[in-house]
Amino acid sequence: MFDKIMIANRGEIAVRVIRACKELGIKTVAVYSKPDINSLHVQMADEAVCIGEASARLSYLNIPNIISAAKNQRVDAVHPGYGFLAENAYFADLCETYNIKFIGPKAEVIQLMGDKIKARELVKQAGVPLVPGSEGNVNSYEQALEVAREMGYPLMIKAAAGGGGKGMRLAQNETDLKDALDMARMEAKAAFGNDEIYMEKYIEEPRHIEFQILGDEHGNLIHLGERDCSLQRRNQKLLEEAPSSFMNEELRKKMGQVAVKAARAAKYYSAGTIEFLVDKHKNFYFIEMNTRIQVEHPVTEMITGIDIVKEQIKIAAGEKLTIKQEDVKINGWAIECRINAENPDNDFSPSPGQIGRYIIPGGPGVRIDSAACENYTILPYYDSMIGKLIVWGRNRQEAICRMKRALQEFTIENVATTIPFHLKVIDNAFFQKGEIYTNFIQRRMSDNNNR
């Protein structure tokens, strides 16, 4: 097992990884940008190194500074968390060059699955169903027209290097196509330095259902069931639950097997996620693989009792997976709300600043993953998440009641948060019936959005 791990991240995920390390008896090194000096992850780690100025480009994305900090502190491994360098194949490769274990899959696999066009090709060959779409890259407007005529509208134009909903555009008809194409290409170029795009049929009112994968370096690969991440705003997740109210045992088995097959095709190890869209008729289609720990991993931990971050670390240390597929049992229901410093009454505009009073909910079945505290300042340089509120109940109804109670207890003063919005979602009759899909917020909560 490793003696010392560096966490190349900040905020709640850095804290989450430090907790896992402590339970495994591993020493930790935090990295921080100048304004993060008093952060919780810095206080909790055994050692801490300043890696640069506020701007992420100069600190949390500053590869030379992070690598030299890792060498100076003599760490055995680096955990990248999510975001920042978590899916940066160059960084993963450089860690290995410097004899530091990257806690994640191989650099080649990050590269491969990070290119959605290549990932689609790979899993298609393994027999995984894809959203019908273009074969590979769409180079020109003429080619796009041809694909669109064959496939029909509406359709999605997506960036090969896409992530965080960037470089994605909907075209309802032929008139939209040219603009959507140009916009997607421009946005992709600006965000990822890569303007390759592809096209997919638009799936009407789908569910976003993803499978958590765990694999070791010895070829063992299992899934930990599904998460339903259909509650989204502008294609970005807001609330996640596990299991999915849309699932039955037969579909879970089938989708789980397909997810494992997709991961196997990539020779995947570590924790990863296979994402699917599922239509009204329960047809499911692969959309992408995320080669890192995900924000919403706690809902899976709550219903399986498996600590995914600890497993990820053990796998990186070369250990064999001790959990077999048949050992994975789903117990009860978990829901996660992402509590962001955003103003839902003003189009979710960021609301950074210093928190005043901060009182977290507690009691049975409540978990908070956060790096915030009283007087903590939400910095404008990074994402606006204050923390994640996760609840567990014996069934969906109990989880919903518990989430409502916990959201009401959660007091965060002086900054606007998404708590009032989550309360409205939880109170929505369609949500309570489990009738959710990716455009639920647009369709069922539009008057809340406009207020």
For residues 154 and 352, which CB has a smaller minimum distance to ligand ADP in the complex?
A: 154
Determine which one of 292, 338, 367, 402 is catalytic.
292
- At residue 425, the 3 state secondary structure works out as helix
Closest CA to 86 of 114, 64, 59, 65: 114
Of the candidate residues 28, 39, 232, 291, the single one contacting ligand ADP (CB under 6 A): 232
The encoded tokens of residue 189 equal 């170029």
Q: Residue 379 contacts by C-beta under 8 Å, 6 or more apart in sequence? A: 35, 36, 54, 352
Which of the residues 128 through 147 are near ligand ADP (CB under 6 A)?
Answer: 131
120 is catalytic: no
Of the candidate residues 81, 104, 114, 206, the single one contacting ligand ADP (CB under 6 A): 206
Minimum Å distance from CB 166 to ligand ADP? 6
216 binds ligand ADP (CB under 6 A): no
275 binds ligand ADP (CB under 6 A): yes
Q: Order across the sheet with 236-242: list the strands.
A: 284-290, 270-278, 207-215, 221-233, 236-242, 333-340, 385-393, 366-370
HEC string of 286-338?
EEEEECCCCCCHHHHHHHHCCCHHHHHHHHHCCCCCCCCHHHCCCCCEEEEEE
226 binds ligand ADP (CB under 6 A): no
Of 137-145, 202-210, 246-254, 393-401, the window that binds ligand ADP (rule: CB under 6 A) is 202-210
Of the candidate residues 165, 332, 350, 352, the single one contacting ligand ADP (CB under 6 A): 165
Of 19-27, 77-85, 161-169, 411-419, the window that binds ligand ADP (rule: CB under 6 A) is 161-169
Angle between helix axes 174-192 and 141-151 (nearest 10 degrees) is 120
H or E segment and range at residue 230: strand 221-233
Please list the residues that pair with 152 across neighbouring strands. Answer: none
Rounded Cα gap, residues 250 and 84, in angstroms: 37
For residues 421 and 437, which CB has a smaller minimum distance to ligand ADP in the complex?
A: 437
Minimum Å distance from CB 402 to ligand ADP? 26
Binding residues for ligand ADP, rule: CB under 6 A, are: 131, 156, 162-165, 168, 200, 202-203, 206, 208, 232, 235, 275, 277, 287-288, 438
Q: What positions carry a catalytic annotation?
A: 292
